[in-house]
Structure 1
């Protein structure tokens, strides 16, 4: 390996990686019902909206949803095309190989095809990256971009660094090189998610970009701090904190979803019992499309809470609801 990006694995980074790993383990115990297509779609919309808003797009989640659904929305042609490009780029996230430079170019083409003439190819002009005090970073000249990107991918392909750290390092190095004439921030954030997805599938639908959007000024400051330090360490620490917060929010939302799901199942089963006090567990399973173990779990909960009781035997007896509503 000829090139190694400069960074330091500080004690803070090590602690952050450990905390993230524990949070990922906690997610294994989240009710599988939470990871539904509807909720995946919601988080994907949050990712797309967040990454675009960072770049100044004014569309909110409702408008992005409308475009996904093929509805007409009011907005500038550029904003609409930015949303459509981001949808296409994220829709293909599971097809990208994080080690494949051609896939990154393909993602950029999806993202910018209707916005740039050279979408999917590296820039051929100089660029400066602006900050609150003007231009804060002059990217390497275009003649160096192919070589620098080749070296970066060579490192990514061969490094034995923890994927959480490697994803942050790549994100910063990519922004430093700024290989495209436009769309660099969006692709940098997308590719970090692609790298994280290869580590754990849960990151496929983790809306990290929306959390970055909520800390946009700190995001830019972390990039500037890393540039001043001459290594990506400050940016790694910042992004690991963003990932931590994303996972915590995911767990919090999942618990709320589980509680709502439990309440709905309680009421649905109670309603069926009230409609037919001789209904069997198998009939409940069929009507609610629930597993036998799931129905028995809810009925046990209803019994424990003195909301329903069984009178007589399983075959000849009947249910008795002790209340009419939750």
Structure 2
């Protein structure tokens, strides 16, 4: 039946994520922040491409991806270099794509796998089995004769559903992977289209590197797909993707604050993060501060030393290592 809703449940977790993400979008002033800085836009675009391709076993590091896109020579497999250039080209066209157009979807695939796949820009003509990194079969893709109609129905549902775009985009992402309409490049196109759909809700999402968060949580990404496949519906995948979007927005807020020239503001932000961490943990280490504040070990040490001098933290010995606790007053 045309426009039939794919199977999933609206859970309290999903509702909470939608509310939290919407609040973060407002707090960040997403469009203004992420579209006003050309340097930040390019950095995030490169992180997006690196993350999405790394999920598919592309071997280039973030530095190598940056070098390729800066026109520098990189010693790497030609296929991996071509994937980077192709992905950059289609992400740069994101604003011009219609997220509900089957022609645009095929065109995007053609660019994404240009000179890499025989069936580029067309739906696959052969049956496929989808496997994970260990070679385990996740599921068998839709038989090729049914692919065009199912993709068309999915696009129609995504366009006409009255559900929040945050939910619709996650459902589309999962269902496209389930159909597996292309001979190769399904994951890359699914993530591209997810970003495209979100950018039609809030334009700044075009510059938010959600793919890098997925890459950092790659095992959980595959686990969510597997769990959704076993359940026969996408609820767990929606929850995972919303958590990735939320994490990406939190990171963007932190980056915005890190870019502030106000040193006092930056110090307060870091202290706030440390206080939140210590609400759930008895102590904090240099490594924890590095991760929380996205700083080097030396900077983390300076932050902690400063907080000890200010009388906010006290140094202690935990598990054979130096750590820091809140000073009890």
TM-score bin (small chain): 0.7 to 0.9
Distance 1:59 1:260 in 2: 36
5 Å matches for 1:206-245? 206-245=208-247
Q: Specify whether residues 204 and 2 from structure 1 end up closer, same or farther in structure 2 by C-alpha distance, changes over 3 A only.
A: closer
5 Å matches for 1:76-155? 76-131=77-132, 132=134, 134-155=136-157
Name the counterpart of 1:28.
29
Deviations 1:208-256 (A, max 9, x none): 0000000000000000111111111000000000000000000001100
Q: Specify whether residues 127 and 161 from structure 1 end up closer, same or farther in structure 2 by C-alpha distance, changes over 3 A only.
A: same
SS at match of 1:181: coil
User: Which one of 224, 237, 251 corresponds to residue 253 of structure 2?
Assistant: 251
SS at match of 1:258: coil
Q: Specify whether residues 9 and 41 from structure 1 end up closer, same or farther in structure 2 by C-alpha distance, changes over 3 A only.
A: same
5 Å matches for 1:1-326? 1-28=2-29, 32=33, 35-131=36-132, 132=134, 134-259=136-261
Contact 2:173 2:194 in 1 (8 A): yes
SS at match of 2:107: helix
Unaligned runs of 5+ in 1: 264-326
TM-score (norm 1): 0.77
Name the counterpart of 2:323.
none
Structure 1 segments of 4+ aligned residues over 4 angstroms from their partners: 29-34, 260-263
Distance 1:260 1:110 in 2: 43
Q: CA deviation at 1:31?
A: 8.0
SS at match of 1:136: strand
Distance 1:5 1:234 in 2: 14
Higher mean alpha-carbon deviation, 112-121 vs 219-228, is at: 112-121
Deviations 1:148-207 (A, max 9, x none): 111111111211110000000000000000000000000000000000000001101000
Higher mean alpha-carbon deviation, 113-122 vs 239-248, is at: 113-122
Deviations 1:28-49 (A, max 9, x none): 2898598400010000000000
SS at match of 2:130: strand
SS at match of 1:83: helix
Contact 1:51 1:210 in 2 (8 A): yes
Unaligned runs of 5+ in 2: 266-329
| Number of equivalenced pairs | 263
Contact 1:82 1:111 in 2 (8 A): yes
Q: CA deviation at 1:118?
A: 1.7
SS at match of 2:193: helix
Give the structure with higher Rg (CA). Answer: 1
Name the counterpart of 1:302.
none
Higher mean alpha-carbon deviation, 63-72 vs 208-217, is at: 63-72
Contact 2:32 2:204 in 1 (8 A): no
Q: CA deviation at 1:18?
A: 0.2
Contact 1:226 1:235 in 2 (8 A): yes
Calculate the aligned-residue CA RMSD, in Å. 1.9
